[in-house]
Amino acid sequence: MRWALGARTALKRVPLDMLTACFDRRSGMTHLLAAPAPELLAALAAGPADIALLLARMGIADADAEERAGLEAHLAALEAAGLVVRA
Amino acid sequence: MGHSDSSDGARRPLSADRRALLRLGAAGVSTVVTIRPALAQTAASVLTCEIPVPDPARAGDFIAADGSLVPTDTPGAFRPSARPFTGEEVKAALTGRSLPGVDHQRSRAYTNYIRRLQQGTSGFTCYASLQMPRA
């Protein structure tokens, strides 16, 4: 299972204190992202990746089951928001 | 790998913070909140919002063919509408159809009046809402 960023051409990002606001001009939706969502998007910016590669890009070695499950859940939330897609 | 300060001043590796944040996902903590524009709601309120012709404050005036307000019984001018028009009705009229219940000439005068609406005049917000592009 690989993940990739969704279409980004219409996204405008505005960093706020604890959040990142992400405005999608095409849909008019605003996504408020808290850590680690922005970091996940940054890790995917280098190209599609599976869980193992994503963890490596985030500098996390030997992730346990809970951390992997958490990453899957974060990716699922980003997918629901339309910000990432399964590649 | 960089380090970050935790609240007690001890330094922790960034990766430890990231691991903790990942675990939040497993705990069901949401890190993405999507705010959708209330377009559906907006559409409903726009279609039912009302535009009186003319503004009740000018209820004694007639409407000239070009949409301007003129004194009562001015020749060639039209009497005020008996009822306000809804956003949906005005939207249709702006594309060429007649306002309901009035003949074509009167409808054109009313429509011209509506096109001249300014902020502060009753119905302006409703009319301005009709101009908003849909996403």
Handedness of CA B91, B97, B100, B105 (dihedral sign): positive
Which chain A positions have a beta carbon within 8 Å of B24's beta carbon? 70
- Across A7-11, A21-25, B90-94, B130-134, which has the greatest mean pLDDT? B90-94
Q: Are the beta carbons of B35 and A32 separated by less than 8 Å?
A: yes
Q: Which residue of B has its CA nearest to A77?
A: B32
- How many residues make up chain A in this entry? 87
- Cβ of B38: how many Cβ atoms within 10 Å? 11
In SS3 terms, B46-85 reads as HHHCEECCCCHHHCCCEECCCCCEECCCCCCCECCCCCCE
Distance CA B64, CA B87 (A): 22
Could you tell me if B131 lies within 8 Å of chain A, comparing CB atoms? no
Q: What is the pLDDT of residues B54-63, one digit of tens each?
A: 999 898 899 9
Of B14, B31, B135, the CB nearest to A74: B31
- Say if CB A73 and CB B25 are below 8 A apart: yes
Boundaries of every domain in chain B: 1-34, 39-130
Domains annotated for chain A, with CATH where assigned, are: 2-86 (3.90.930)
Q: Are the beta carbons of B37 and A28 separated by less than 8 Å?
A: yes
Adjacent-strand bridge partners of B3: B13
Distance CA B21, CA A70 (A): 8
Query: pTM, whole model, 2 decimals?
Result: 0.52
Tell whether the model's pLDDT for residue A44 goes beyond 70.
Answer: yes
Handedness of CA A11, A73, A44, A37 (dihedral sign): positive
Helix (H) or strand (E) holding A86: strand A84-86
Going by pLDDT thresholds of 50, 70 and 90, the confidence category of residue B12 is low
pLDDT over 90 percentage in chain A: 53
Going by pLDDT thresholds of 50, 70 and 90, the confidence category of residue B9 is very low
Handedness of CA B122, B128, B134, B135 (dihedral sign): negative
Of A31, A67, A77, the CB nearest to B22: A67
Tell whether the model's pLDDT for residue B30 goes beyond 90.
Answer: no
Going by pLDDT thresholds of 50, 70 and 90, the confidence category of residue B6 is very low
Tell whether the model's pLDDT for residue B8 goes beyond 60.
Answer: no
Distance CA A12, CA A37 (A): 15
Token pair, residue A35, equals: 């850590």
pLDDT at B1: 46
CA B3 to chain centre: 49
Q: What is the pLDDT of residues A5-24, one digit of tens each?
A: 887 656 788 999 889 999 87
Which chain B positions have a beta carbon within 8 Å of A31's beta carbon? 32-35
Going by pLDDT thresholds of 50, 70 and 90, the confidence category of residue A53 is very high
ipTM for the complex shown: 0.81
Eight-class DSSP state of B13: E
Of A30, A37, A67, the CB nearest to B31: A37
Task: Collect all residues from A whose CB is shorter than 8 A from any CB in B.
Answer: 26-37, 39, 58-61, 63, 66-74, 77-78, 80-81, 83
